[in-house]
Structure 1
Amino acid sequence: MNKWIPVTILAVLLLSSCSSPKEELSKAANAVTGGKSSRQQLVLAEGTSVMERIAVPKGYERVPIEHGSYADYLRKLPLKPPGSKVHLFNGELKAKEVYEAVLDVDVGERDLQQCADAVMRLRAEYLYGSGNYDQIHFNFTNGFKADFATWRKGNRIDVTGNKVSWVKRGTASNSYEVFRSYLNMVFAYAGTLSLSKEMKQVPIAEMQAGDVFLEGGSPGHAIVVLDMAQNPKTGEKLFILAQGYTPAQDIHILVNMGNGEGNPWYSTAFEGKLHSPEWTFTREQLYRFTD
């Protein structure tokens, strides 16, 4: 981890890193039910967005969503060209190819945008793009509330030891450059542990795009539900997952090891635990932003 953090806060933030001692690449992941559906080639060799590139299995339809909603934003996220690789912040390739597609979202030039940061980045980008500046806020691991409404007025966050406070250092601005500088500050001091305290748990049966599988702690990880589909006859729901990881790297759509290459859909009817390629979650670890 190359984040610059005072020693007194660093000890707490290390508890929310994305490092994973629980990788289970050899374990079958949660396959889509429905017979031949798991063997369909659903990642197309064309399309520039999530909904254009990732087709739904036969017999399923994408769930209806409200135009302009967060779910709509995620479904329309741009993707890098087919065959693109995941790169780390320093330009190196991700060691494990556990992804079906790569989001066309910059990762920055520092080791900041890791797993929880990717979740916060997508949420913040949606709110910023829709002009909902006052809804952009995240807590640091020590509980300090970092809100963009205060930052955009020209205030900045000063960290001295374990003391965090606002200081006036700039002029008021809503520019994207100012927004990104705010996010870099959040990425440095927030993580899975802080997200688990400010988000609310939701039942798997109520899953929506934008919800997050989240384990906050030592270590921790977070992956976002990027899109959903449903079988109108059986009612079964499917979902796609996307993650950032450590070191900071491109956000990518995960494979489903149980389906094999070309079908990234997971079923909400999974039994026991959710086995994503680089982390395992329980059914109780699904969270949602509260506003």
Structure 2
Amino acid sequence: MKNCITLCIVLLCCLQGIGQNTLLRADGKEIRTRIVPPKGYARVNVKEGSFGEYLRNLPLRSHGTKVYYFDGREKWNRSVYCAVVDMEIGKRDLQQCADAVIRLRAEYLYKHKAYDRIHFNFTNGFRADYTKWAEGYRISVKGNRVSWYKSKAKDYSYKTFRAYLDVVFAYAGTLSLAKELTSVPVTSMQIGDVLIQGGSPGHAVIVVDMAENPATGEKLYLLAQSYMPAQDIQVLVNPKERDKSPWYTLKRMGNILTPEWRFTSADLKRFKN
């Protein structure tokens, strides 16, 4: 019996070791230290203070952390992600796919006090400026009619900023975000670009890091997403290139298969400002 138990333990340990990803570092605290590029590749340079630098340095929860929905339930499919961004998502079913992209962009701008650049459109085209909200105005939604009204005192606190985002999440989505972004050639991809298909449902994922092979010029990139229902932002695995996963190979044309959605190279877009 003891020998049988010992054998089972050895087999279990061997099975756990099979398929371990050597590109993941369990002690890494953020994307740039948790996920290393494959041999021969190095991370692309990013400007200090840029959106790319912010995304590359997103804090991660401890290695092996699971993704949870807004209501505390565990995401049933653990095979789609390799890391979880350490950022609360609220207690309501609001921060889904496009909302996560909006969240990251807004958090970056708020961190740098670029308040006048924080604005997003509702699906009906209404422009919701954060500065208007911070000055004490609130948004009235009656059917398809949306308007501002004065309600509060001036307040640029994070709490008020976070409340603004929840309203944006409620009335924006892939349809509105896709119209706000500008299309870019996939060969010009930068960290912070978005793969997006506007629709009901549509989907959006964001490029959170890139690497390049200086000898061949080949580039790789990492993708992150939220999904439906609202859930933790997660760094995706690459279901097609297991040897490079979670990195994706940048290709001039073709489909981009992510674990829960299929994009094309024509779906790449960028924030205008």
- Identify whether the pair has TM-score above 0.5, normalized to the shorter chain: yes
- In structure 1, the residue matched to 2:23 is 42
Match of 2:108 among 103, 126, 151: 126
**Counterparts of residues 192-203 of structure 1 (less than 5 Å):** 192-203=174-185
* Structure 2: unaligned runs, 5 residues or longer: 1-18
Query: Do the aligned partners of 2:58 and 2:85 also contact (CA within 8 Å) in 1?
Result: yes
Residue 264 of structure 1 corresponds to which residue in structure 2? 246
The 1-side partners of 2:104 and 2:200 are apart by 24
Q: What aligned pairs does 1:56-205 form with structure 2 within 5 A after superposition?
A: 56-97=37-78, 98-205=80-187
Gaps of 5+ in 1: 1-37
CA contact (8 A) 2:194 2:206 kept: yes
RMSD: 1.5
Q: Which has the larger radius of gyration?
A: 2
- Offset of residue 151 of structure 1: 0.5
Aligned to 1:284, the other structure's residue is in SS state helix
Residue type matched to 1:243 in 2?
A: Q
Q: Aligned partners of 2:67 and 2:238: how far apart in 1? A: 17
The equivalent of 2:7 in structure 1 is none
Output the amino acid matched with 2:254.
G
Note if 1:218 corresponds to 2:196: no
What's the offset of the Cα at 1:118?
0.2
Counterparts of 1:261 and 1:171, CA distance in 2? 54
After the TM superposition, which segments of 4 or more aligned residues of structure 1 sit over 2 Å from their partners?
A: 259-263
Normalised TM-score (structure 2): 0.91
CA contact (8 A) 2:186 2:252 kept: no
Offset, 1:259: 2.9
Residue identity matched to 2:43: R
Count of residue pairs the alignment pairs up: 254
Match of 2:256 among 274, 279, 284: 274
Deviation of the 1:263 alpha carbon: 2.5
User: 1:40: Cα distance to partner?
Assistant: 6.0
CA-CA distance at 1:188 after TM superposition:
0.1
The Cα of 1:271 is off from its aligned counterpart by 5.1
Superposition deviation, residue 270 in structure 1: 6.5
Find the counterpart in structure 2 of residue 25 from structure 1.
Answer: none
1:106-158, CA deviations, whole angstroms, 9 ceiling, x for partnerless residues?
11100000000000000000000000000000000000000101110000000
Is 1:232 the equivalent of 2:189? no
CA contact (8 A) 2:65 2:83 kept: yes
What TM-score does the superposition give when structure 1 sets the normalisation length? Answer: 0.85
Q: Distance in 2 between matches of 1:73 and 1:167?
A: 34
- Does the 8 Å contact 2:24/2:34 carry over to 1? yes
- Decide whether the 8 Å contact of 1:46 with 1:53 is kept in 2: yes
Mapped partners of 1:223, 1:194: distance in 2: 15
Deviations 1:218-271 (A, max 9, x none): 320000000000000110110000000000000000011123388200011275
How far did residue 217 of structure 1 move?
A: 1.2
Structure 1: distance between partners of 2:243 and 2:104: 25
In structure 2, distance between residues paired with 1:261 and 1:231 = 15
Q: Which structure has greater helix proportion?
A: 2
Q: Which amino acid in the other structure matches residue 134 of structure 1?
A: D
Distance 1:94 1:261 in 2: 25
Contact 2:71 2:91 in 1 (8 A): yes
